[in-house]
Amino acid sequence: MTSTEAFDAVQIISIKRDKGTLSPEQIDWTIDAYTRGVIAEEQMAALNMAILLNGMDRSEISRWTSAMIASGERMDFSSLTTPDGGRKATSDKHSTGGVGDKITLPLAPLVAVFGVAVPQLSGRGLGHTGGTLDKLEAIPGWRANLSNDEIMAQLQDVGAVICAAGSGLAPADKKLYALRDVTGTVEAIPLIASSIMSKKIAEGTGSLVLDVKVGSGAFMKDEARARELAETMVALGKDAGVHTVALITDMSTPLGLTAGNAIEVEESVEVLSGGGPEDVVELTVRLAEEMLAGAGIHDADPAAALKDGRAMDVWNRMIEAQGGDPRAALPVAKESEVVYAPAEGVLVELDALSVGVAAWRLGAGRARKEDQVQAGAGVRLHAKPGALVRAGEPLMTLLTDTPEKFPRAKEALQDAVVIAPEGSRPARQLIIDRIA
């Protein structure tokens, strides 16, 4: 530290250690000094742990988020125009991640059908939760990295873009996230909320819908903590002037019938063709309604736009604009192995975490950010909770290019399934609550 620094790291750490409140000036300095390398990694790790243990109030989280936004550039979509020369509304969605969560793929083109621009800046998977970019990269030729000019041109022409976030958006968050990941502080709600919202606010969208997952396959296992996270992020959006709504949704069971990359693209195309699993369609339509409402459109019928082909038309244009061939054959795993039902009865539980870990071990996910994924790997489900199954019937098919991965994937599935006598059919509440 030089003599010109306004504060020092030990002072900041001590305040949070002792359950104090950081001033706006202290927060601004902390984020800036960490980004510049003035605050050492071990000092920021100590501060993160103090925040995890002692929390932050709303004003602190809001200022922390603003300081992270200020560490980089902000995108501006005000130049996007409607056919009649008006200003085009923008709306975005963020999911906290889950198993089989391919909703972004059909959702972005669906919302764009109604003239709303969807700048969906997405990420890659890590661990058992899949990444949107990994899924789309299963499409031959498709590219994730676009310049800001390319993003703007595609939003103007097509209306939707799904791509990687540029390094210029909230660079402080990128540095902080990597540190949290290796210091046991990922779970700190103030840091989760500010991480997500700093990027989304810097992205410049006019309205935002948050899909906060809860259950075994989600980051948040407990509904009370999921609600706290949702409420915190909605408040941050409001403080920043961004219309923000959150849905708390169930992730105790995988979404749809696939968990992987190419197979999730395949299922997304089924939804865009007017079919697909009921839960994927339900959540896609509900999130589309929320995104359109945030953009001021209340009389749209997104379910109809899935069935009549309009959303598929936008999908094809969106994929082609990023170099992909939407009609090309998707990669197929070289090897497969079937998991059979051990008994007869009603499938009452299909644990999302177990399926996600199995898909990950088969090669669909990565343990480190530099790892490669197998496009064709994953788990294809043949039954969901509520279905009547018979002993010896296929429950799921495991897919991989490397058959030596099957044993560990099957280990993950040992306690994934609960089958009960007939008559015990569970009712799944997919959308648990709405926070606005």
The catalytic residues are 94, 173, 180, 195, 199
Cα dihedral 111, 429, 394, 409, rounded to 10, equals 80
Q: Which of 68, 76, 72 is nearest to 27 (CA)?
A: 68
Structure tokens at 179: 């540190």
Residue 345 CA, distance from chain mean position: 34
